[in-house]
Amino acid sequence: MTVVNGQEISRTPGPLPMPAVGQGAIVEQRHITILVDIFHLNAVLEGNLSELGYSSPKARKTGTTIAGIVFKDGVILGADTRATDDMVVADKNCMKIHYIAPNIYCCGAGVAADAEVTTQMMSSNVELHSLSTGRPPLVVTVTRQLKQMLFRYQGHIGSSLIVGGVDVTGAHLYSVYPHGSYDKLPFLTMGSGAGAAISIFEDRYRPNMELEEAKKLVRDAITAGIFCDLGSGSNVDLCVITQAGVQYLRSYDQPAQKGKKEGQYKYKPGTTAVLTKTVTPLPLDVVDESIQLMDTQ
């Protein structure tokens, strides 16, 4: 018997009665039994925590908008520059496009410290791999190492990454999730503003775009994420990767600029009427202290 929110929830021991029709029914029966057991365990844990005066931990809210597309000559990565701590803007000009190799860069969303350390570690590993093989690194090699490392930690490293680069096989764009899964697509978005950014890509993206048109598209996608998500903001950074080299464009655009005051808004004392006034005494313990000078001569 389990009590959740004042209601008694009972469960008979053993698996739930399910019609045993084929192997699929057996798998479904076991699956439901496991889910009920996990629900029962969580309810007991939450009840014990509340009795001890504790509350269950809450998931950390992170905010970012990162994006990338494959265009005619290479890959363009984009990101906003706002770093937040709950409802506080911790950094207005945070770098979210990280160096991996001379021809490969990576956008990071999620926990800023996790993304920074993860990309630094991966950059070192890729450099050692390149020195060992005597060849420039491939984008798929970086993606494989990233997803294998994140999978080992089972999602406890809060890094959602977009890996983009150009190698001997062409331009490639991957997204790697904190649990180790990945996607390969011609355009990608991640972060809390990804919904607004992906709508721009789905509406206007087309294969073999020219450079300036592709830069404008990524800028507009990041701008949409900034305007539609409180966790994204400040500036738009772009990184253009081609066979000729890398062009890192810091503060490429400032979609939300600070406005100027039209005048001085200073009111004279007494302009606003005081309707009520309440004085709350503050109890203090006043301690008399006497100081005695020490003779040091």
- C-alpha 14/C-alpha 52 separation (Å) is 30
Between the alpha carbon of residue 191 and those of residues 49, 183, 246, 273, the distances in Å are 32, 15, 24, 47
Beta bridge partners of 253: 236
The tokens describing 156, both together, are: 């406890």
Half-sphere exposure for 209 (CA within 13 Å, toward CB): 20
Q: Which residue, chain included where needed, has tokens 């410290």?
A: 113
Question: Helix, strand, coil % (nearest 5) of the chain?
Answer: 30, 25, 40
Quote the DSSP letter at residue 257.
P
The tokens describing 263, both together, are: 């005048």
Identified catalytic residue from 2, 62, 64, 272? 64
Q: Is 171 helix (H, G, I), strand (E, B) or coil?
A: strand
The tokens describing 218, both together, are: 């990524």
Q: Is 279 exposed, middle or buried (0-12, 13-18, 19+ CB in 10 A)?
A: exposed
Quote the DSSP letter at residue 14.
S
* Residue 64 among the catalytic residues: yes
The tokens describing 240, both together, are: 């253009």
The answer to whether 163 touches 132, Cβ cutoff 8 Å, is no
Active site residues: 64
